[in-house]
Amino acid sequence: MKRHLISAADLSRGDALLILDTAEELASLADRPIKKLPTLRGRTVVNLFFEDSTRTRISFEAAAKRLSADVINFSAKGSSVAKGESLKDTALTLEAMGADAVVIRHSASGAAHRLAGWVRGSVVNAGDGTHEHPTQALLDAFTIRRRLKGATARGTALDGIRVTIVGDVLHSRVARSNVLLLSTLGAEVTLAAPPTLLPLAVDTWPCAVSYDLDSELPKSDVVMMLRVQQERMTAAYFPSVREYSRRYGMDTARMAKMPDHAIVMHPGPMNRGVEIAAEVADSVRSTIVEQVANGVTTRMAVLYLLLGGTEFPEVAP
Amino acid sequence: MSDSWLIKGAQVAGLGAADLLLAGGTITAVGAGVSEAGAQVLDASGLIALPGLVDLHTHLREPGREDAETVETGTRAAALGGFTAVHAMANTEPVADTAGVVEQVWRLGRAAGYCDVQPVGAVTAGLAGTRLAELGTMADSAAHVRVFSDDGRCVADPLLMRRALEYVKAFDGVIAQHAQDPRLTEGAQLNEGEISGRLGLAGWPAVAEEAMIARDCLLAAHVGSALHVCHVSTAGSAEIVRWAKSKGWPVTAEVTPHHLLLTDELAVGYDPVFKVNPPLRTAADVAELRRALADGTIDCVATDHAPHPVEAKETEWSEAAFGMTGLETALRVVQQAMVDTGLLDWAGVADRMSVRPARIGRLTGQGAPLAVGGPANLTLYDPAAPAEPVSAAGASKSRNTPFAGMALPGRVVATFLRGTPTVLDGKLA
């Protein structure tokens, strides 16, 4: 594995499988009364969040703490960053404090990439602008594998699994990372979106493209809904929220067109009633709560593998 | 000691190896076996003699951003790049939109003495795009402004653009347009295409430039006024300029050295040294721009030298300033992109980097062929100098060159401004 995890493209198929299988090992810990492992004792993980994202931050925080790492949460609000300190100076400060890993969330595409040039520790991209969010893709892949393959999941990839990703692909770091990772793992990915919300050169991506969600549903094993950001709703990407919802929202009628085994995913936070109906979000086909739980184990696996933890977790009780 | 110079054995377009005698600011003899007559002698065998280069598009940053560049440092860089005249763009602080500011810049250039500094005046007051600056007053000032541009911003309002084009006819002016539709480029970061999509950087569509150029060509034709298109960056833009010229319309265009050599693929590391306006485009665009420069559709090479301090580039891509330096590397890049590829000979380089830009800029005493009686502005260039990696540290106050570490051929050996060397043996004289 590379030293940093900045893009899902950094992961070979072997790397990705190693992370997923390690996450499976770690998941079994969640059932034990004492969830903590000593593997990263004495190591420091900094959560560097320039953008509000409580759910992602606490997921990384829980992951690092369960591996016994020291965790420093650095939020840009109210810090020197708010007073105009540059990303580089923040990086040098963290460097001086001896961070072994820096988990960065930033509103600018490429921020994780830049940071990696300024610090010695490992950089984990927890979402950079409209670029990538690779640990989200890993937890999604983990969730897909577990749900669709159950006990036989371990050691297997996603060959032949058909995944449809729906919505604002143009601005979605989740979509970018998922297209790269899921295709690396052998899944057949289709993007379903209005043309305004697809990148111009999407034909160069390793996936298919459709403007018609309904025709994709019967052939999908997985339908992943993307969040519609508030700021898109007024910028002429589509005429109205109602029309978007009618054409690309997941409601019960659409869910009924999916095969019986197929699942509905959403990276959260959801706009209930816009891209996903409440009945769908709360249905048994929804994996939304599982995705959150799987986020912790997947991020534990990433930190463990990047920081080369000393003791592999004992699975026996 | 005499202040005249005898340049021996330089390659002069149309003459082959020839001697040039410079005295009293003019070329007093050209040919074989010119007598020294007490002049200082420079052995120029193997060197190309070009009329002193003229840059139509330079940001000298003074007044206002002397941390990035000054007239002094910028013109030193220009001389080292073989230039004897530069056009100083108007987006300074304060903006060069009054006679006072353009005269200040012009005087700073005269005081520095490394090359002629011809100020460009703003088209609109404060570059705000709402009302015309006092164009006639700037034209009548000591700075004698003929080129007007809001460069850095586009004169997007079609009515204002029409009026500007019409108005400057009264004093043989030209409007140099930075063609960029503002609505189509809101928040734009990088050429819209495969790379911008992959990197998650807001796309900068080619059509935002091309549509504006097409509109401006039509306006120029309608009112019969001179339009100059700054930094053409796409294949489509070149095609539109070619079409406008085929109609006989008074349109000229420039291309930057970086758009002749670099592509948007360089952005994959998110290093903002490659962030520029207009953005780096694709290899197909580069090929078409080279072809258009070779066939004369694009009239000239202009550097768009845009110095920025370190902190403006050592940041996230979207936070970083647009622009790259280019004066010191322009001729070497043109050799690599145009001469070594067989697209342009040295006479062509003289035309595209000196004769035509001087003509577009309405400069007298610049861009004249190397002939008896002409001004003694010339550049001696060694095209056979081994390709050396470009150093980021040059005479410019800023270091944001995209060519740092890249091996480029050639070397500017000497530059003469009205018979006086500003550069000798590759160093400031």
DSSP string, B18-42: EEEEEETTEEEEEETT---TT-EEE
Look at residues B335, B382, B425, B416 and name the one whose alpha carbon lies nearest to residue B45.
B382
Check B315 against A199: CB less than 8 A apart. no
**CA end-to-end span of chain A:** 29
Task: For the domain covering A8-133+292-307, report its CATH number.
Answer: 3.40.50.1370
- Closest CB from A87, A130, A200 relative to B200: A130
Chain B neighbors of A196, CB-CB under 8 A: none
Q: Which CATH number, 3.30.870.10, 3.40.50.300, 3.20.20.140, 3.10.129.10, labels domain B51-360?
A: 3.20.20.140
pLDDT band at A76 (very low <50, low <70, confident <90, very high): confident
Q: Compare CB distances from B192 to A109, A200, A204 and report the shortest one's residue.
A: A200
Active site residues of B: 304
* Tokens of residue A38, six digits: 């000593």
Which B residues in the span 97-126 are in contact with A, Cβ-Cβ below 8 Å?
none
Among A51, A89, A92, A113, the strongest candidate for a mutation testing the B interface, having the largest count of B CBs within 10 A, is A113
Average pLDDT over residues A93-97: 87
Quote the pTM value: 0.94
Q: Determine the Cα angle at B422 with ends B418 and B428, to 5°.
A: 180
Q: ipTM for the complex?
A: 0.91
Asked if residue A115 has pLDDT above 80, the reply is: yes
Quick: pLDDT tens for A164-180.
999 999 999 999 999 99
Q: Of A94-98, B52-56, B293-297, B403-407, where does mean pLDDT reach its minimum?
A: A94-98
By Cβ distance, the residue of B189, B193, B319 closest to A201 is B193
Q: Does B319 touch chain A (CB under 8 A)?
A: yes
The pLDDT, as a whole number, for residue A309 is 59
Mean pLDDT of B160-183: 98
Q: Give dist(CA A122, CA A129) in Å, integer.
A: 20
Residue A31 predicted with pLDDT over 80: no
| Residue A81 pLDDT | 62
| A-contacting residues in B 197-236 (Cβ below 8 Å) | 197-203, 205
Distance from CA of A180 to the nearest CA of B (A): 10
Decide if pLDDT at A315 tops 90: no
- Of B235 and A153, which is predicted with more confidence? B235
Instruction: Say yes or no to pLDDT of A80 above 80.
Output: no
Asked whether the beta carbons of residue A109 and residue B192 sit closer than 8 angstroms, the reply is no
* Both structure tokens of B60: 């000298």
Q: Which residues of A touch B318 (CB under 8 A)?
A: 108-110, 129
Which chain A residue's Cα is nearest to B190? A109
State the CB neighbour count (10 A cutoff) for residue A239: 9
- Domain borders along chain B are 5-48+375-428, 51-360
Q: How far is B266 from chain A (nearest CA, A)?
A: 13
pLDDT of residue B34: 87
Tell me which residues of chain A, numbers 63 to 122, contact chain B at a CB-CB cutoff of 8 Å.
Answer: 86-88, 106, 108-111, 113-114
Chain B: residue whose CA lies nearest to A133: B200
% of chain A surpassing 90 pLDDT = 80
Measured distance CA(B232)–CA(B222) in Å, rounded: 22
Strands B227-229 and B251-255: parallel
The correct CATH number of B5-48+375-428 out of 2.40.10.10, 2.30.40.10, 3.40.50.800, 2.40.50.140 is 2.30.40.10
Residues of B in contact with A205 (CB under 8 A): 197-198
B316 touching A (Cβ < 8 Å)? yes
| A 15-74 → B contacts, CB under 8 A | none
Given a contact cutoff of 8 angstroms between Cβ atoms, the answer to whether A138 and A298 are in contact is yes
B-proximal residues of A, 169-188, CB under 8 Å: 171, 173, 176
User: Residue A109: which of B200, B269, B315 has the nearest Cβ?
Assistant: B200
- Which residue, B131, B170, B167, B164, is CA-closest to B149? B164
pLDDT band at A82 (very low <50, low <70, confident <90, very high): low
Residue A80 in tokens: 């020197």
Average pLDDT over residues B349-375: 97
Q: Which residue of A has its CA nearest to B269?
A: A113
Instruction: Sheet with B147-148: list strands edge to edge.
Output: B147-148, B174-177, B227-229, B251-255, B300-301
- In B, which residues are within 8 Å of A130 by CB distance? 200-202
Beta bridge partners of A225: A166
Beta-strand relationship, A222-225 and A208-210:
unpaired
Three-state secondary-structure class, residue B217: helix
CA A242 from chain centre, in angstroms, equals 27
**For residue B51, pLDDT beyond 50:** yes
Could you say which of B197, B201, B316 has the minimum Cβ distance to residue A201?
A: B197
Question: Which of B194, B311, B318 lies nearest to residue A109, judging by beta carbons?
Answer: B318
Per CB-CB distance under 8 Å, the chain A contacts of B310 are none
- What is the 3-state composition of chain B as percent helix, strand, coil, each rounded to the nearest 5? 35, 25, 45
The predicted-structure confidence for A64-75, as pLDDT tens digits, reads as follows 999 999 999 988
- Average model confidence (pLDDT) across chain A: 92
Query: Which of A200, A207, A232 is the best residue to mutate to test the B interface, defined by the most B CB atoms within 10 Å of its own CB?
Result: A200
Strand pairing of B53-58 and B116-119? Answer: unpaired
Mean pLDDT of A37-46: 93
- Antiparallel, parallel or unpaired: β B16-23 and B26-31: antiparallel
Question: What per-residue confidence (pLDDT) applies to A313?
Answer: 47
CB contact under 8 A, B317 and A128: no
Are the C-beta atoms of B80 and B416 separated by less than 8 Å?
Answer: no
How many CB pairs lie under 8 A apart between chains A and B?
67
* A110, A128, A199 ranked by CB distance to B197: nearest: A199
Contact residues for B373 (Cβ-Cβ < 8 A; gap 6+): B26, B27
Q: Best of B207, B274, B316 to disrupt the A interface by mutation (most A CBs within 10 Å)?
A: B316
* % of residues, chain B, pLDDT over 70: 100
**pLDDT score of B395:** 97
What's the gap in Å between the CA of A109 and the closest CA on chain B?
Answer: 6
Under an 8 A CB cutoff, do B197 and A129 touch? no
**Which chain A residue shows the shortest CA-CA distance from B183?**
A235
Q: What's the gap in Å between the CA of A87 and the closest CA on chain B? A: 7
For the record, the structure tokens of A35 come out as 């969830």
Which CATH architecture best describes the domain A134-287? 3-Layer(aba) Sandwich (3.40)
d(CA B319, nearest CA chain A) in Å: 8
SS3 assignment, position B274: helix
Q: Which residue does chain A place closest to B206, by CA atoms?
A: A200
Enter the tokens of residue B283: 């290899």
Burial (Cβ within 10 Å: 0-12, 13-18, ≥19) of residue B373: exposed
Per-residue tokens: A127: 């979402």
Closest CA to B379 of B53, B76, B55, B3: B53
**Interchain contact B421–A (C-beta under 8 A):** no
Q: What is the mean pLDDT of chain B?
A: 97
